[in-house]
Structure 1
Amino acid sequence: MAELTQPVSLTLADGSLNPDAVGWARRPLVDTSGIGGRHGWGRNKRWEYWSVVSPTHVLTLTVSSIDYAAVHSVWVFDRAMRRPRAGEATVLPSRGVRLAPSHGAGPAYARAHDLAIAVEPEGTSTRLRARIPGAEFDVVVTRPPDRDCLAVVVPWTDRTFQYTVKDIGLPAAGSARIDGVRHEVPAGESWAVLDHGRGRWPYRVRWNWGAGWGISGGHEIGVQVGGSWTVGTGATENGILIDGVLHKIDVELDWSYDLADWRRPWRVVGGGLDATFTPDYDRKASTNLGVVASRTDQCFGHWSGAFGDLSFDGLYGWAEDVTNRW
């Protein structure tokens, strides 16, 4: 799959996939403003997912629209106590949500029931604010200008396709308030991950996603791996960041794990990567609204292993198994 180096539109005038957009990039170069509206209604999926990791907490938010529904979540996790606080909302039909047409082209907002989210980019930073009963956070994420991300267009057909941007290990700072107690998200010790998605999806899909970041052996190491959903497309969302430089892995990886015994280590192998993920918490979630249903196991823990001659250990992150009917 070719590396994209120039801006390109994801779609053609008739809403179908632009063949020139199929590839991967180190920067978010793809214009996705053709997703939404009358083209492909019901198959359009748009979201912003952010996860912030501090020494004491994991803070996540999701703003999404799947045409006929808006699906949002806020999750606050105490790493030491293994104590989560969650707020979720599925709004039928989709309303109370705003998403930018393309990456970085504007804010994202969601408001539903007792949940409120604001994602506000400005220059090289993005402010993340979220509130649910008993918990809220306000964090600023800064993007170093010379850091690579992994942006990929995944083509199932000319009518179903996805553009994803995975941005790993971004510096973060701010605070969270849980049950009235303030918790710092300290600069220099906290980092964030963005999963930005725009596309048109098949009705049933399953995916794996794993991410982690940390300093090991004197290097900043970021792990970005995926699986299942890209099989047969010629695209992968696999790569390793070493000191901010992306090393793309073009092959499908072999994932092995046992959700019946989620504490057992996961293995992810291929393309020069031999990684082990050791979980210490499983975030389970499920929704069944008939037409729309999902099941998620997102395990948090630590990555270790090797990429070529480079060994790494102690990278905090997650690995997940997700099934959607949407």
Structure 2
Amino acid sequence: MTEKEIKKNVNLCDEKGNLNEKSVGWSRSPIFNLNLKKHIFRKKRWNYWAFINDDCLFSVTITDLDYAGMAFIYFYDFNTGYFAEKTITTLFGKDVKISNEVYSDTIFDNDKMKIKMIYENEKTKIEVQTNDFDSKHFKAELTVYQPKDYDTLNVVIPWDKKHFQFTSKQEGLACEGFIRLDDKKHILKKDFSFATLDFGRGVWPYKISWNWANAGGHSEDKRIGLNLGAKWTDNTGMTENAVVIDGNLIKISEEVIFSYDKNDLIKPWKLKTKETDKVDLTFTPVYKRHAQTNFVIIKSNIYQMIGYFSGYIKDEYNNKIYINKLPGCSEEHFAKW
């Protein structure tokens, strides 16, 4: 598979709001002008953040689907197995402030939960507060470091001229701060904590499914960020597959096959490249998250496994980078939206 690397700024859409074919490709920084317009009630915009270390996993998302706004958080404790999550849905994006720029502010301001994602000087500061998170008071204050010389994966996926997606997947970012549930405080230290950004803007088909895997950690004294996907990019000529090693991105221009037992998702998964041996990973789940949404015309069913990746990925020189118990997630998602 040949994927075009884009090195100059380019508009995502043409004057009619349809896909600009010149934007189809990938880049190491978000140089796309996301001039997303028209397509009333079909646009999807979200900022998903996840934070992971040996102690815990925390995720926070703000989404605008044109006809609905959503915000959700979830938390998993690797030591105790404790898990909790909270979702709020509003009509027509009420309480959501979101833009089409990757490095910008995103806010959800609701009487049940408040989320701020504020970008300034190559850092995003994230604050989350809610008084009823599994009957607990929840507060998080986190800082993510996004230096300009740190490669990110930025891809335009073309289904057709009226359906397309820009995604910025930023993996293995350094982060620090705290997460507090009542009186229990979890500290994230910069050298041992890893953040993921899934920034999405596009016009989607109503019905779609996907697999997504991401992870962050240290392996062979290297800082590793991993992003692998499947199904939703099939037959588009593009993938969202890449690994970031010490801030340098290696694009994997090949489909990755997710093999798993759909009747027993807690069993180990296999993730392998379709044509070569560039990726050969085993994902071992330790927790199964199941979330469903049924809100007017939004229907979503996600099984997200939390666990560890082991195996190897080859770098651009065909050298194997061995991975051992890299913490992360792998998911199966069906959506009508």
1:255 matched to 2:258? The reply is yes
Q: Counterparts of 1:263-274 in structure 2 under 5 Å?
A: 263-270=266-273, 271=276, 272-274=278-280
Contact 1:76 1:135 in 2 (8 A): no
Give the structure-2-normalised TM-score.
0.92
Q: Partners in 2 of 1:99 and 1:231 — Cα distance?
A: 29
Give CA-to-partner distance per residue, 1:206-242, whole Å, 9 cap, x none.
0111011221122222221000000011110001222
Q: Unmatched 5+ residue regions in structure 2?
A: 315-319
Aligned position for 2:5: 3
Single out whichever of 211-220 and 193-202 deviates more from structure 2: 211-220
Report the equivalent of 2:333: 322
C-alpha distance in 2, partners of 1:183/1:96?
28
CA-CA distance at 1:316 after TM superposition? 0.6
> In structure 2, the residue corresponding to 1:188 is in which secondary structure?
helix
Matches within 5 A, 1:58-137: 58-104=57-103, 106-132=104-130, 133=132, 134-137=137-140
Mapping of residues 192-207 of structure 1, within 5 Å: 192-207=195-210
Secondary structure, counterpart of 2:175 in structure 1: strand
Supply the distance in 2 between the matched residues of 1:61 and 1:189 (Cα, whole angstroms): 20
Question: Pairwise mapping of residues 17-28 of structure 1 onto structure 2 (< 5 A)?
Answer: 17-28=19-30
Match 1:212 to one of 201, 211, 215: 215
Matched, 1:291 2:297: yes
User: Is the 8 Å Cα contact of residues 89 and 113 (structure 1) preserved in structure 2?
Assistant: no
1:323, CA displacement in angstroms?
Answer: 0.7
Number of residue pairs the alignment of both structures matches: 322
Which amino acid counterpart does residue 320 of structure 1 have in structure 2? Answer: E
User: Which residue, 172, 177, 181 being the options, matches 2:180?
Assistant: 177
Q: Which amino acid aligns with 2:164?
A: F
Amino acid at match of 1:124: E
* 1:312 paired to 2:323: yes
User: Residue 159 of structure 2: which of 156, 174, 193 is its match?
Assistant: 156
In structure 2, C-alpha distance between the alignment counterparts of 1:307 and 1:86, rounded to whole Å: 32
Instruction: Pick which of 166-175 and 86-95 moved more.
Output: 86-95
State the SS of the aligned residue for 1:103: coil
Worse-matched range after superposition: 287-296 or 149-158:
287-296
Distance 1:113 1:274 in 2: 46
Query: Per-residue CA shift, 1:50-79, capped at 9, x if unaligned?
Result: 001133221111101000000110112222
Work out whether residues 144 and 170 of structure 1, in 8 Å CA contact, stay in contact via their aligned partners in 2: no
Moved more, 153-162 or 55-64: 55-64
Q: Distance in 1 between matches of 2:191 and 2:224?
A: 15
Q: Partners in 1 of 2:129 and 2:15 — Cα distance?
A: 39
Shift of 1:289: 2.4
Counterpart position of 1:237: 240
Q: Which residue does 2:49 correspond to in 1?
A: 50
The whole-number CA distance in structure 1 between the counterparts of 2:243 and 2:63 is 27
Name the structure 2 match of 1:146. Answer: 149
Please give the alpha-carbon distance, in whole angstroms, between the structure 1 residues aligned to 2:298 and 2:110: 18
What residue is the counterpart of 1:275 in the other structure?
281
Q: Percent identity?
A: 32
User: Is the 8 Å Cα contact of residues 212 and 318 (structure 1) preserved in structure 2?
Assistant: yes
Q: Write the letter of the residue equivalent to 2:302.
A: T
Of residues 14, 17, 20, the one that matches 1:15 is 17
> Per-residue deviation at 1:189?
1.4
